[in-house]
């Protein structure tokens, strides 16, 4: 059972990385709608709609507590995808929507880390970038 869970987590990470790479390629090409679709499809895989409703509506720490410690990796991956979604909105000139995504991403990263998620170096770099973007706004 543990191997299956670990395999699934690795698969979710791979899907998230692929979606972020695809979104970056699409953003570079100016295809913002398609970039958002790629990000949202990955979010659907990582965080099913019912779980996302909790993450989007509840205070981050409460949402993570309700979901439980087994789901902190999902929260971490969703935080990364929200940061990418914010980048798409920023490139489109939708500053308020970008700021909302960046802020929620940072909140979810913090809640996930507080619940025991192991943040990777890439997560820490993303967090630093998000903080810089919010400071500039």
Instruction: Read off the pLDDT of residues 3-42 as tens digits, 9 standing for 90 and up.
Output: 776 777 788 888 888 988 999 999 999 999 999 999 999 9
Q: pLDDT band at 55, cuts 50/70/90? A: confident
Q: Is the pLDDT of residue 134 over 70?
A: yes
d(CA 11, CA 16): 9
For the purposes of burial, counting CB atoms within 10 Å of the CB of 14, is it exposed (0-12), middle (13-18) or buried (19 or more)? exposed
Cβ 96 vs Cβ 32: under 8 Å: no
Stretch 57-68: mean pLDDT: 89
Stretch 83-103: mean pLDDT: 97
Q: pLDDT band at 1, cuts 50/70/90? A: low
d(CA 16, CA 13): 5
Quote the mean pLDDT of the chain.
91
The total number of structural domains in the chain stands at: 1
The CATH number given to whatever domain includes residue 73 is 1.25.40
Stretch 105-131: mean pLDDT: 95
Query: What's the Cα-to-Cα distance from 83 to each of 3, 10, 103, rounded to whole Å?
Result: 29, 20, 9
pLDDT at 92: 95
Q: Which domain holds residue 64?
A: 2-136
Stretch 128-133: mean pLDDT: 97
């Amino acid at each position: 059972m543990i191997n299956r869970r670990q395999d699934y987590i690795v698969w979710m990470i791979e899907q998230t990385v692929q979606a972020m790479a695809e979104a970056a390629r699409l953003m570079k090409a100016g295809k913002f709608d398609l970039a958002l679709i790629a990000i949202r499809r990955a979010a659907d895989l990582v965080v099913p709609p019912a779980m996302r409703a909790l993450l989007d509506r509840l205070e981050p720490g409460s949402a993570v507590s309700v979901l439980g410690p087994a789901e902190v990796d999902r929260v971490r991956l969703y935080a990364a995808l929200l940061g990418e979604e914010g980048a798409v909105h920023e490139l489109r000139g939708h500053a308020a929507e970008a700021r909302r995504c960046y802020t929620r991403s940072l909140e979810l990263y913090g809640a996930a880390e507080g619940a025991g998620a192991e943040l990777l170096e890439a997560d820490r770099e993303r967090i630093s970038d998000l903080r810089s973007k919010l400071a500039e706004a």
